[in-house]
């Protein structure tokens, strides 16, 4: 009976890839477990990233100098996860700007990002208890052309002289142009992107850089959203297990032990 069941299942299921199924089940079980804990109000430890302190320092400096804060959310649309994370960070920056009574400027590249950015900024002002201070003109649509948008942002930097430039989101060739322009105006700059090919430019031109996946960690840390927190903790645990497996596999392979490596071989 069992042999017949296995025979029929073989038409629908590839038994040579059971290890892939087990890996996925383990990974998703981590996610479900931590998301469940977060929804129940359990405390999930997430280390505070140094870039978070840099953001508050930048907004504080702009307040002291009486100059605006420029927040640049990248050039991608709302279907990009980096833009979503940037909107979460924007809400918290708007809250700080409202609390310190600092002007906030948010230039936008994509039309669909405009209403989301407006809502994020407005919610930030409401959370700070100053909804009347919200200026609908703080969110400005520039252009959906990459370098037209870059030119518009550079114009804001040169005309309005913001004391703090915050660049969070998905950036491409325009990253160094904007970062260098901001550097030339003397602004304190904090940048973050998961586009690793643009990180070197931010590292050399900005005061602080949030690197790669730290962008998502910052959004989870600030929003306290259970799904984001649970996903972050679950993926971190999965990475830890992968690192342990790699180290153990390297040791066993050096000792000519092949069975452990074969467990992870996908046909």
- Token readout for 210 is 């949030």
pLDDT at 45 (0 to 100) = 76
Q: State pLDDT tens for residues 138-166.
A: 999 999 999 999 999 999 999 999 999 99
CA–CA distance, 38 with 44 (Å, rounded to integer): 7
Does position 9 have pLDDT exceeding 70, yes or no? no
pLDDT at 117: 96
- Ramachandran area for residue 224 (φ above 0: left; ψ -120 to 50: alpha; else beta): left
Q: Is the pLDDT of residue 171 over 80?
A: yes
Residue showing tokens 């201070």: 133
**Of 222 and 244, which is predicted with more confidence?**
244
Give CA–CA dist 257/239, Å, rounded. Answer: 23
Query: Which residues are 189's β-sheet partners?
Result: 165
Nearest to 175 by CA among 198, 153, 142: 198
Instruction: Identify the pLDDT of residue 16.
Output: 74
Residue 20: the pLDDT is 83
State residue 228's pLDDT score. 83
167: alpha, beta or left? (left if phi > 0; alpha if psi -120 to 50): beta
CATH hierarchy code of domain 50-223: 3.40.50
pLDDT for residue 123 is more than 70: yes
Question: What does DSSP assign to residue 77?
Answer: -
Residues whose CB is less than 8 angstroms from the CB of residue 65 and which lie 6 or more positions away in sequence, other chains included:
163
Going by pLDDT thresholds of 50, 70 and 90, the confidence category of residue 82 is: very high
**What Å distances lie between residue 118 and 15, 138, 151, 193, CA to CA?**
51, 8, 22, 21
Name the percent of the chain lying above pLDDT 90.
Answer: 58
Which residue has better confidence, 228 or 61? Answer: 61
In angstroms, rounded to a whole number, what is the distance separating the alpha carbons of residues 210 and 203? 9
Cβ-based neighbour number of residue 17 at 10 Å: 12
Q: Assign 204 a pLDDT band (cuts: 50, 70, 90).
A: very high
For residue 124, the model assigns a pLDDT of: 93
The domain limits of the chain are: 16-45+230-262, 50-223
Which of the 8 DSSP states describes residue 166? E
Angle at CA 264, nearest 5°, toward 258 and 267?
105
Mean pLDDT value of segment 224-234: 83
pLDDT above 90: residue 112 = yes
Q: What is the pLDDT of residue 113?
A: 96
Is residue 205 a contact partner of residue 189, using CB atoms and an 8 Å limit? yes
Q: Is the pLDDT of residue 94 over 90?
A: yes
Average pLDDT, the chain: 89
Rounded average pLDDT over 119-138: 92
Backbone angles phi and psi of 168, in degrees to 5: -135, 120
């Amino acid at each position: 009976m069992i042999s017949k069941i296995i025979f029929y299942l073989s038409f629908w299921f590839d038994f040579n890839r059971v290890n892939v199924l087990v890996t996925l089940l383990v990974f998703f079980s981590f996610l479900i477990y931590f998301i469940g804990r977060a929804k129940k109000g359990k405390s999930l430890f997430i280390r505070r990233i140094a870039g978070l302190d840099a953001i508050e320092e930048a907004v504080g400096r702009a307040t002291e100098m009486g100059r605006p804060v420029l927040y640049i959310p990248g050039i991608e649309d709302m279907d990009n996860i980096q833009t979503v994370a940037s909107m979460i960070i924007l809400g918290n920056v708007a809250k700080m700007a409202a609390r310190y009574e600092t002007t906030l400027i948010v230039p936008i590249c994509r039309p669909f990002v405009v209403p989301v950015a407006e809502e994020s900024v407005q919610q930030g002002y409401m959370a700070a208890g100053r909804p009347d201070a919200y200026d609908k003109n703080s969110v400005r649509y520039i252009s959906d052309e990459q370098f037209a948008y870059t030119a518009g942002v550079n114009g804001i930097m040169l005309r309005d002289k913001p004391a703090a430039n915050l660049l969070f989101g998905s950036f491409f060739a325009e990253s160094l142009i904007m970062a260098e322009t901001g550097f030339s105006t003397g602004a304190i700059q904090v940048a973050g992107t998961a586009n690793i090919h643009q990180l070197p430019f931010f590292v050399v031109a900005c005061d602080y850089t949030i690197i790669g996946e730290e962008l998502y960690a910052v959004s989870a840390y600030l929003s306290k959203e259970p799904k984001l927190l649970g996903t972050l903790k679950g993926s971190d645990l999965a990475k830890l297990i992968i690192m342990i497996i790699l180290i153990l596999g390297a040791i066993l392979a050096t000792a000519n032990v092949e069975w452990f490596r074969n467990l992870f071989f996908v046909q």
